[in-house]
Amino acid sequence: MPHSTTLQRPDDCLIVIFGASGDLTKRKLLPALYYLWDRGMTPENFGILGVARSKYDDDAFRKMIYEFNPDGYDDAKWAEFSKHVHYEASDSTNAEAWPDLTTRIKGLAQEHGTGTNIMFYLSMAPQFFEPIIQNVGASGLVIDGKRMVPLNKEDPTWQRIIIEKPFGKDPESAVQLNNTLGDVFWENSIYRIDHYLGKELVQNMLVLRFANTIFEPLWNREYIDHVQITASETVGVEGRGSYYDSPGGGAMRDMVQSHLLQVMSLVAMEPPVSMHAEDIRTEKIKVFKALRVPKEEDIPQIAVRGQYGPGAVKGEAVIGYREEDGVDPESQRDTFTAMQFNVDTWRWGGVPFYLRSGKAMAAKKTEIVIYFKPTPHILFRDQARNQKPNQIVISVQPNEGIRIRFEGKEPGVGMKMNEVVMDFDYIKQWEVDPPDGYATLLHDCMRGDQTLFKHRDEIESSWYACQPVLDYWEENPQPDLPNYAAGTWGPPASDLMMQRDGRYWRND
């Protein structure tokens, strides 16, 4: 299936969301489905079934979703859309609940005329993934999960599963989860979601690189000095203290191993032979396989663990991580991680990729910065100290856009240079706010497009590159934690890591 931005209508299907009483469903999934429906991008025939243990019926569930964000829905349109929305109070982790659940699913498929196509969505905590997958497998609802291609074009029956993060907490658990999924579904029916891949400016990386001739010739070790990818957040752990402080939590697992390495793979991949999902994934997988697995002796130089203490974010006092509910007062968990990755390929030999992410930092921003090498010969000698490296800054959020920073002449007599910026501002250019990534990703799954979903090999290889650092941190408690005040750019060690290499984080 080629990756496409056309408004192709997906096949009829029933959407079954496990964990429907939770935060993700009301904050992201139902609004995204409403967004698609409002633009004619849902299937002609579709139904949505929310499943969780909380005691709602259809009407109470619809009301709960609507009341979470009434401004997000037009009343008349909601009345129409919500006819597609249903709820079953059931514990889907329990096999005994499944005969009734299966009957309800089949009944709704008949009511909405969706045939046997089903999109399952696991919007649950990770400990529930495996029992639910096994119960789905045993239900008999997955009739072609193991079929590689539709039997014929008149009968494009499918059952697909979207699975939320976190995808394991180490390589072993990721492999086990992949195996459980593989017992029920073929790889081409498994959609491991990463909402960062749904972000407009992340997808724009493919267009920037592969729809233009001016960038690609420079996109290699000859011209690029290093790459920085930052995802900083001003929020702390926001009531998720017990999850974040558990062995599966922390910034490395929550953001770096998952979202940031995915973003990095789009920066580092070779041009695919086509925009077919398989061709794009093939190139991404090669990047993950080329990720250097760090040696223990290198870890103190290439990885930094941070944890926020009390401070102030945007003028508001913030308690330290260790004071958060559900957090061990002596916790060693990383609320900030900075790490240097290397992609050991011909293109990227010697080019470090510095990734960092943290909670309770000075600003919310996600950006990719490509730093170019200095000119091979300095002509403007008296200005040499002002000459900054060229940069391409891809602002994923906020201020979505792409900015190219280069040297220009200041007006007036004499040759004084200064940094100037060519600015593609997404919102000014297109006069729209970027759609939420979940709308794109749900639409892609219903169309059978896996381009923006993760293959099992990507997940497993990304764990192999991160796990040595996690193990090292586990075995070597760090006495200086907390080591950054809330509202700052992270611990001094993160700046030192860059300075050792003669480089600096872009913190504007």
Ligand X SMILES: NC(=O)C1=CN([C@@H]2O[C@H](COP(=O)(O)OP(=O)(O)OC[C@H]3O[C@@H](n4cnc5c(N)ncnc54)[C@H](OP(=O)(O)O)[C@@H]3O)[C@@H](O)[C@H]2O)C=CC1
Residues that bind ligand X (CB under 6 A): 19-24, 27, 52-54, 91, 93, 123-126, 128, 164-166, 195
Q: Which does 254 bind (CB under 5 to 8 A by kind): ligand LXAUTJHC, ligand X, none?
A: ligand LXAUTJHC
Residue 233 is assigned to a ligand binding site: yes
Residue 408 is assigned to a ligand binding site: no
Radius of gyration of the chain (CA): 24
The β-bridge relationship of strands 417-425 and 401-409 is: antiparallel
Q: How far is the CB of 410 from ligand LXAUTJHC (least distance, A)?
A: 37
Q: At what angle do helices 200-210 and 261-268 cross, to 10 degrees?
A: 10
Binding site for ligand LXAUTJHC (CB under 6 A): 195, 233, 254, 366
Which residues, other chains included, contact 458 with Cβ-Cβ below 8 Å and sequence gap of 6+?
Answer: 262, 265, 281, 284, 285, 288
- Cβ nearer to ligand X, comparing 19 with 241: 19
Residue 254 is assigned to a ligand binding site: yes
- Cβ nearer to ligand X, comparing 93 with 332: 93
Q: How far is the CB of 202 from ligand LXAUTJHC (least distance, A)?
A: 10
Residue nearest to ligand X (CB): 22
Q: Which does 164 bind (CB under 5 to 8 A by kind): ligand LXAUTJHC, ligand X, none?
A: ligand X
Residue 199 is assigned to a ligand binding site: yes
- Cβ nearer to ligand X, comparing 259 with 305: 259
Residue 26 is assigned to a ligand binding site: yes
Identify the residue whose tokens are 């396989």.
289
Q: Which does 375 bind (CB under 5 to 8 A by kind): ligand X, ligand LXAUTJHC, none?
A: none
Q: Which does 123 bind (CB under 5 to 8 A by kind): ligand LXAUTJHC, ligand X, none?
A: ligand X
Residue 24 is assigned to a ligand binding site: yes
> What distance lies between CA 422 and its chain's CA centroid?
27
- Cβ nearer to ligand LXAUTJHC, comparing 352 with 358: 358
Which residues, other chains included, contact 413 with Cβ-Cβ below 8 Å and sequence gap of 6+?
Answer: none
Residue 225 is assigned to a ligand binding site: no
Residue 19 is assigned to a ligand binding site: yes
Residue nearest to ligand LXAUTJHC (CB): 254
Q: Which does 204 bind (CB under 5 to 8 A by kind): ligand X, ligand LXAUTJHC, none?
A: none
* Residues, the chain: 508
Q: Which letter, b or e, does each residue of 89-124 get, where b requires 16 or more Cβ atoms within 10 Å of its Cβ? A: bbbbbeeebbeebbebbbebbeebebbbbbbbbbbb
Bridge partners for 17 per DSSP: 50, 121
- Cβ nearer to ligand LXAUTJHC, comparing 136 with 263: 263
Residue 122, classed as helix, strand or coil, is strand
Nearest Cα to Cα of residue 331 among 255, 238, 242 = 242
Q: What is the DSSP letter of 375?
A: P
Q: Which does 388 bind (CB under 5 to 8 A by kind): ligand X, ligand LXAUTJHC, none?
A: none
Which residues, other chains included, contact 334 with Cβ-Cβ below 8 Å and sequence gap of 6+?
Answer: 250, 251, 252, 305, 306, 307, 473
**259 carries an active-site annotation:** yes
Catalytic residue (choose from 259, 276, 377, 455): 259
Q: How far is the CB of 25 from ligand X (least distance, A)?
A: 6
Q: How far is the CB of 165 from ligand LXAUTJHC (least distance, A)?
A: 6
Q: How far is the CB of 366 from ligand LXAUTJHC (least distance, A)?
A: 6
Per the CB < 8 A criterion, the answer to whether 80 and 40 are in contact is no
Identify the residue whose tokens are 């945007």.
314
Which residues, other chains included, contact 2 with Cβ-Cβ below 8 Å and sequence gap of 6+?
Answer: 274, 275, 276, 277, 449
Residues 192 and 496: their CA atoms lie apart, in Å, by 35
Residues 116 and 157: their CA atoms lie apart, in Å, by 6
Residues 58 and 49: their CA atoms lie apart, in Å, by 9
Residue 32 is assigned to a ligand binding site: no
- Cβ nearer to ligand X, comparing 225 with 436: 436
| SS3 per-residue string spanning 490-507 | CCHHHHHHHHHCCCCCCC
Q: How far is the CB of 255 from ligand LXAUTJHC (least distance, A)?
A: 6
Q: Which does 229 bind (CB under 5 to 8 A by kind): ligand X, ligand LXAUTJHC, none?
A: none
- Cβ nearer to ligand X, comparing 165 with 405: 165
Cite the annotated binding site for NADP(+) by residue number: 19-26, 53, 165
Cite the annotated binding site for substrate by residue number: 195, 199, 233, 254, 359, 364
| Active site residue ranges | 259
Cite the annotated binding site by residue number: 19-26, 53, 165, 195, 199, 233, 254, 359, 364
